């Protein structure tokens, strides 16, 4: 099973075929140029994630370890989500009763998303979990697990 | 009571920024137009400190993957909570959001709106609300087609200047449709089947000499 790990500096006891550590990597923010959709289809104008893209779309599983920041994903992780748009086509489909991006690739990895940090308002955790579930549903991953890091092996 | 408008567009070319257009129309007909600053061209920490000097912060942003762009989250990370008791002579500080997005239905925004509400609490700010407008991606390309929308944004700004609130009726108009109706879905599916929905994309792909590559999978 090919595994990609995305972290924000944490070491997790899992073997990976590829690791993207957002604490070390300098990932450019998406600048909304749409080059990946209408100039160089599937390729971002920035090249800093090309290796990641290859490993992500050929992986069976992506393990993501997120640092909750002000009750949400960090800016760095949010930038990574934004920069994953080249993996999808510009077209919109409506088969689920709502607007959805159309997949560019035949399959996408299952997601194990673990988070660490605190949520101050009582429903903050649910807002966070709902958001992550929605992101990877929109990204066409079939199996999505979102849990606190402490429950990783449960 | 003073307000700063923060344009959360990460666009490299601000001329192509729909958030900029929204921001300019929001203040256009105010008696005393609010200051507008662009998050992308400022240091986040310094801008957060500067914005904290205002009674109200309104962030106008595009929806990227159901939430704020990474650049805007990096700015939010730098916002410090206001003191818990009246931070201004006129009461607590206030924060609000105006989202513009490509997808038609504003239900797409429902994953970030509750977060913005809770963020305001974390910051000890009063939550002004979140205004949502879908199907806005083409505004900078075809501004004449969006005259009505931009007029509503200007009216929202005028009402805000008078009341310090987002006018509920205007917000309601802008947020339609919240979900796609069964009629709209049927229509969109037909448009999709006959290939009309992708005409705009294909036109630009052809102009860029990239039409034949449009379905490429370069990373496998």
Averages of pLDDT over each 10 residues, chain B, 220 residues? 92 88 97 96 97 96 97 98 73 94 93 96 96 93 92 98 97 96 90 84 96 97
Q: Is A82 within 8 Å of B76 when comparing Cβ atoms? A: no
pLDDT score of A124? 95
Three-state DSSP class for residue A125: helix
pLDDT score of A10? 85
Taking only the tens place, the pLDDT of each residue in B30-83 is 999 999 999 999 999 999 999 999 999 999 999 999 999 999 999 999 999 998
pLDDT score of B86? 64
Say if residue A39's pLDDT is above 90: yes
pLDDT score of A151? 87
Shortest CB distance from B62 goes to which of A32, A77, A79?
Answer: A32
Edge-to-edge strand ranges of the sheet holding B126-133: B35-38, B3-7, B56-62, B94-100, B126-133
Q: Is B115 within 8 Å of A121 when comparing Cβ atoms? A: no
Question: Taking residues A92-109, what's their average pLDDT?
Answer: 94
List the domain range (segments joined by +) for residue A60: 3-151
Flag whether residue B194 sits within 8 Å of chain A, measured between CB atoms: no
Mutation target to probe the A interface, by most A beta carbons within 10 A, among B73, B192, B193, B213 is B73
Q: Is B77 within 8 Å of A74 when comparing Cβ atoms? A: yes
Joined together, the tokens standing for residue B56 give 């109200």
| Chain B, window 79-138: residues with a beta carbon less than 8 angstroms from a chain A beta carbon | 79, 103-105, 107-108, 111-112, 114-115, 118-119, 121-122
Q: Give the phi and the psi of residue B133 in degrees, each rounded to 5.
A: -135, 125
- C-alpha span between A121 and A64 (Å, rounded): 24
Q: How far is B17 from chain A (nearest CA, A)?
A: 9
Three-state DSSP class for residue B57: strand
pLDDT score of A154? 65
Q: Is B217 within 8 Å of A40 when comparing Cβ atoms? A: no
Q: How many domains does chain A have?
A: 1
Q: Give residue B63's Cα distance to chain centre.
A: 7
Say if residue A134's pLDDT is above 90: yes
| Residue found by looking up tokens 């800016």 in the block | A75
Shortest CB distance from B180 goes to which of A53, A98, A120?
Answer: A98
Shortest CB distance from A134 goes to which of B103, B111, B192?
Answer: B111
Question: Taking residues A51-61, what's their average pLDDT?
Answer: 98
Contacts B19 to A, Cβ<8 Å: none
The pLDDT-based confidence of A147 (bands split at 50, 70, 90) is very high
Contacts A117 to B, Cβ<8 Å: none
The pLDDT-based confidence of A36 (bands split at 50, 70, 90) is very high
pLDDT score of B88? 63
Nearest CA in chain A to B114: A127
Mutation target to probe the B interface, by most B beta carbons within 10 A, among A72, A80, A119, A125 is A72
- C-alpha span between A144 and A132 (Å, rounded): 9
Q: Is B189 within 8 Å of A94 when comparing Cβ atoms? A: yes
Question: Taking residues A74-100, what's their average pLDDT?
Answer: 95
* CA distances in angstroms from A7 to A73, B66, B166, listed in the order given: 12, 21, 39
- The CATH code of the domain that includes A97 is 3.40.50.360
Shortest CB distance from B66 goes to which of A77, A97, A134?
Answer: A134
């Amino acid at each position: 099973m090919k595994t990609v790990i995305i972290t924000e500096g944490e070491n997790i006891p899992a073997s990976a075929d590829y690791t993207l550590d957002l604490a070390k990597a300098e990932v450019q923010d998406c600048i909304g140029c749409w080059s990946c959709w209408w100039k160089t289809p599937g390729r971002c104008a920035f090249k800093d994630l090309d290796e990641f893209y290859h490993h992500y779309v050929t992986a069976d599983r992506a393990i993501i370890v997120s640092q909750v920041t002000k009750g949400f994903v960090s800016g760095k992780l949010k930038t990574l989500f934004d920069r994953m748009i080249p993996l999808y086509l510009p077209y919109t489909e409506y088969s689920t009763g709502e607007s959805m991006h159309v997949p560019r690739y035949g399959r996408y990895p299952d997601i194990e998303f673990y988070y660490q940090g605190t949520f101050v308002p009582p429903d903050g955790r649910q807002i966070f979990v709902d958001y992550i579930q929605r992101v990877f549903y929109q990204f066409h991953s079939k199996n999505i697990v979102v849990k606190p890091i402490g429950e990783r092996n449960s | 009571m003073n307000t700063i408008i923060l344009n959360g567009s990460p666009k490299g070319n601000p001329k192509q920024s729909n958030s900029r257009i929204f921001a300019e129309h929001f203040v256009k007909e105010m008696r005393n137009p609010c200051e507008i600053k662009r998050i992308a061209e400022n240091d986040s920490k310094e801008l957060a400190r500067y914005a904290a000097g205002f009674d109200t912060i309104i962030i106008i942003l595009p929806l990227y993957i159901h939430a704020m762009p990474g650049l805007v989250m990096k700015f939010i990370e730098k916002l410090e909570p206001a003191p818990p008791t009246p931070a201004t002579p006129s009461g607590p500080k206030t924060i609000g959001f105006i989202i513009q997005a490509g997808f038609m239905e504003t239900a797409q925004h429902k994953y970030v709106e509750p977060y913005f509400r809770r963020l305001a609490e974390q910051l000890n700010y009063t939550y002004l609300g979140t205004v949502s407008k879908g199907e806005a991606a083409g505004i900078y390309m075809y501004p004449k087609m969006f005259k009505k929308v931009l007029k509503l944004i200007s009216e929202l700004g005028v009402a805000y200047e008078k009341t310090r609130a987002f006018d509920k009726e205007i917000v309601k108009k802008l947020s339609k449709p919240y979900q796609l109706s069964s009629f709209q879905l049927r229509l969109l599916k037909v448009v999709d089947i006959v290939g009309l929905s992708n005409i705009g994309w294909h036109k630009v792909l052809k102009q860029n000499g990239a039409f034949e590559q449009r379905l490429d999978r370069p990373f496998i």
